[in-house]
């Protein structure tokens, strides 16, 4: 997918962190006319021109075959992420855009790796981040992410909900340039608890937190039933929707714009965006991999840089 980026020009400089030899081999395999150039980080940034791909060389330990996983190259993946993290923390890089990685093979190598988000949060010394997925017309942030449904209700605490809303509100202001964000907050239970008959989390946790933050000047409404707020007529009134759990909010967003959605990590001291899909190993080296989500993730990062 990264090689496909060279088909277009960008106002900012794109740097791919990868093994330069692997990039060259893959370009030849796919018949792509791409000029590869190793980046000089001592030089000022300049726009990326079509037909040219600059890269930061991070050598693999063993040769790479398209679509074939190797535990021997797991350390090279982590090394690339560390380069991105360090560059963002010392402001050499304005943002990081991540392509998918295979978590299983990294852990099989003996390295403890939960995912990009946890890696960047731990490296930046951040104890709380928020996952947001966004298309051009919808932003959905999550209070909980990859939890079994049995554990979700216990994770919806006043402190967790309050911090999630604060991070989302701050990021909408600072990274999206929205002066007074309007956020719709979902309930946890069907029909937002039906007045306590279908669960009381809305009454005991969600509503009190909303009221506290409204008193501080935030524009929040809810708790909304998810089957009510995710309709076109309502969504136009809000800059973001806060869902309580992964499958409450993301199916709607992915139905609306799969392949064009962007995964954004809020709460880091730098901009991080990512694709909305996995590795799709069966497509590696075939030329059929769709780079649209990666392209949208880059576009989102650029818009956040210049917000």
Q: Where are the domains of the chain?
A: 1-126, 127-267
State the pTM of this model: 0.92
Name the band, by pLDDT with cuts 50, 70 and 90, for residue 38.
very high
Position 114 scores a pLDDT of 87
CATH top-level class for 1-126? alpha beta
How large is the average pLDDT for residues 232-240? 93
Is it the case that residue 258 has pLDDT exceeding 90? no
Angle between helices 74-89 and 116-124 (to 10 degrees): 50
Strands 35-38 and 52-57, sheet pairing: parallel
CATH superfamily of 127-267: Isopropylmalate Dehydrogenase (3.40.718.10)
Q: Where are the beta strands (DSSP E) in 66-178?
A: 95-98, 130-134, 139-142
Share of residues in the chain with pLDDT > 70 (%)? 100
Two domains, one topology: 1-126 and 127-267: yes
Average pLDDT over residues 90-94: 96
Q: Where are the beta strands (DSSP E) in the chain?
A: 15-18, 35-38, 52-57, 95-98, 130-134, 139-142, 182-186, 219-224, 240-243, 262-266, 271-274
187 in Cβ contact with 193 (< 8 Å): yes
d(CA 12, CA 95): 11
Is residue 259 exposed (0-12), middle (13-18) or buried (19+ Cβ within 10 Å)?
middle
Rg of the chain's alpha carbons, rounded to an integer? Answer: 21
Q: pLDDT tens across 172-219, in order?
A: 999 999 999 999 999 999 999 999 999 999 999 999 999 999 999 999
- Examine the pLDDT at 88 and tell me if it is beyond 90: yes
Q: Which residues of 147-183 are buried (b: 16+ CB within 10 A; e: fewer)?
A: eeeeebbeebeeeebbbbbbbbbebbeebbebeebeb
Before 223, cis peptide (omega within 30)? yes
- The residue assigned the tokens 């216990």 is 154
pLDDT band at residue 243, thresholds of 50, 70 and 90? Answer: very high
> pLDDT digit string (tens) for 132-159?
999 989 999 999 998 999 999 999 999 9
pLDDT of residue 289: 77
Q: How far apart are CA 220 and CA 182, in angstroms?
A: 6
What is the CA angle 50-52-53, rounded to 5? 120
Whose CA is closest to 56, among 7, 13, 111, 4?
13
């Amino acid at each position: 997918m990264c090689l496909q980026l060279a088909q277009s020009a960008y106002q900012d400089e794109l740097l791919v962190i990868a093994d330069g030899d692997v990039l060259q081999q893959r370009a030849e395999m796919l018949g792509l006319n791409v000029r590869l150039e190793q980046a000089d980080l001592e030089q000022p940034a300049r726009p990326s021109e079509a037909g040219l791909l600059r890269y930061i060389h991070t050598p693999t330990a063993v040769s790479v075959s398209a679509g074939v996983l190797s535990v021997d190259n797991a350390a090279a993946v982590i090394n690339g992420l560390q380069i991105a993290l360090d560059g963002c923390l010392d402001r050499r890089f304005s943002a990081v855009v991540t392509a998918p990685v295979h978590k299983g093979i990294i852990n099989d190598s003996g390295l403890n790796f939960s995912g990009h988000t946890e890696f960047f949060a731990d490296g930046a010394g951040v104890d709380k981040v928020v996952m947001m997925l966004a298309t051009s017309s919808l932003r959905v942030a999550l209070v909980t992410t990859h939890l079994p449904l049995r554990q979700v209700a216990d994770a919806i605490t006043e402190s967790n909900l309050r911090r999630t809303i604060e991070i989302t509100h701050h990021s909408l202001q600072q990274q999206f340039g929205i002066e007074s964000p309007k956020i719709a907050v979902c309930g946890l239970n069907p029909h937002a608890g039906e007045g306590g008959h279908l669960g009381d989390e809305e009454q005991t946790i969600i509503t009190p937190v909303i009221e506290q933050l409204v008193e501080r000047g935030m524009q929040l409404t809810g708790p909304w039933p998810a089957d009510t707020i995710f309709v076109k007529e309502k969504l136009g009134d809000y800059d973001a929707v806060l869902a309580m759990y992964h499958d409450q909010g993301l199916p709607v967003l992915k139905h609306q714009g799969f392949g064009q959605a962007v995964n954004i990590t809020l709460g880091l001291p730098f901009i991080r965006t990512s694709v909305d899909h996995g590795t799709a190993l069966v497509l590696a080296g075939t030329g059929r991999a769709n780079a649209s989500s990666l392209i949208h993730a880059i576009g989102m990062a650029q818009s956040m840089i210049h917000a």
